Amino acid sequence: MNRSRTVFSLSLSLCSIVSLSSHLLAASKYVLKQDPQAVAVAQSAFAAMGGTQAILGYQDSLASGTVTISAGDNPVSYPITMKSKGLRETRVELQMPKGTNVRIANQGQGAIIRPDGSIKGLDSNNTFYEHVNHVPLLSVLADYAGGSVNLLYEGVAQVQGQAEDVIEIDFIPNLANGPLYASMSSTLFFVNQTTGLVDKTQRSTFYEGDQNHTFSEETYFTDYRPVSGMQVPFHQTVFIDGKLETDLTFDSVTLNVGLLDSDFALPQAR
């Protein structure tokens, strides 16, 4: 075999290897998991809490109330205001004795503005999948049919004496990193078999600044009330590793008040 034929054969071999690698890469691309039973439960919950009509009529929300933060034997209560715009912009204003503490999350990024004006950026581990979590209809559940989540059925459980269908929802903004996103955003939704409402969510949350350790975060939703066609829980309790962390009660929730985009702009570190 002469030199030119050898080079030609080598080129064909390399092309075949590249082609095979491309096919293998395509074959290994992450595929969303959509379990039919989980899809049916998500659809039922979505409809029970207001459904498409409520989502289409929603632009922003303003909720105010009181949150009690457990601090050992001395729980402390503060006025709280929670705002949202769309599905991926939230603002929480906690009025404390030294001033207002503000937490903003916008399209997967977050920051805290302390009462003294200093700013702390939040790790994206916990914010990249954040939606409007205090209103279950506006949470990641709203994306159940949008092609960006896994939906898995996890069986039946009891929540405060009620039978609940449990589904796992994973937010996958980028299929290239599907397994990582799925593991980090995995959230369990406990859907009441009688009412269709979400009674509880459960997730593993990373400690801020620590990518290796998580804690269990359970949120219970009760006292649902209709607000402009949307079912909103006016009482919410959060448990961290099984211990009560916060107890939140809304006095009022209003939709479409005309909140400004500037309310949800992430501050620049200073």
The Cα 36–Cα 236 span in angstroms is 30
pTM metric for this prediction: 0.88
The Cα 236–Cα 219 span in angstroms is 7
pLDDT at 22: 43
Q: How far is CA 7 from CA 1, 10, 13, 14, 202, in A?
A: 10, 5, 10, 11, 60
Mean pLDDT by 10 residues, the chain (270 residues): 46 46 53 97 98 97 97 89 98 96 97 96 95 98 96 97 98 94 97 98 92 93 98 98 97 98 87
pLDDT at 28: 58
Query: Among the residues of 105-246, which ranges form H helices?
Result: 124-127, 178-185
Contacts of 94 (CB under 8 A, 6+ apart): 67, 78, 79, 80, 100, 101, 102, 103
Domains present along the chain, CATH in parentheses: 31-264 (2.50.20.10)
- State the Cα angle at 223 between 75 and 138, rounded to 5°: 95
